[in-house]
Amino acid sequence: MQATVHTFDPATTAGSVILDTGKVVPFEADVFGHSGLRHLRVGQRLSIEVSSDPEGPDSQVTRLWIVGIGADEAIH
């Protein structure tokens, strides 16, 4: 699934994404740390995985990566 960076704190490396439905879903610093990314900017598109139903009240991002640069995603 894809989402857009909604918030990102470079000091803590935690933030949130906004789904195309408008739902805001948070991510913790360890998720960002495992992404291999160095920085995110508000408005950037990402691919994400979530812990449960993305529209559910307890959903959290469990994995994020840049579209086209994740595992098994070749850039053409």
Burial tier of 68 (Cβ tally within 10 Å: 0-12, 13-18, 19+): exposed
Q: Residue 50's pLDDT is what?
A: 95
Is there a domain that residue 15 lies in? yes
Range of the domain at 47: 2-66
pLDDT at 67 over 80: no
Q: What is the pTM of this model?
A: 0.84
Query: What pLDDT score was predicted for residue 66?
Result: 86
User: Residue 29 falls within a domain, yes or no?
Assistant: yes
What is the predicted pLDDT for the residue at 69? 64
73 falls within a domain: no
What is the structure's pLDDT at 6? 98
* H or E stretch at 46: strand 45-50
What does the pLDDT look like over 39-54, one tens digit per residue?
Answer: 999 999 999 999 988 8
Pairing of strands 45-50, 61-66: antiparallel
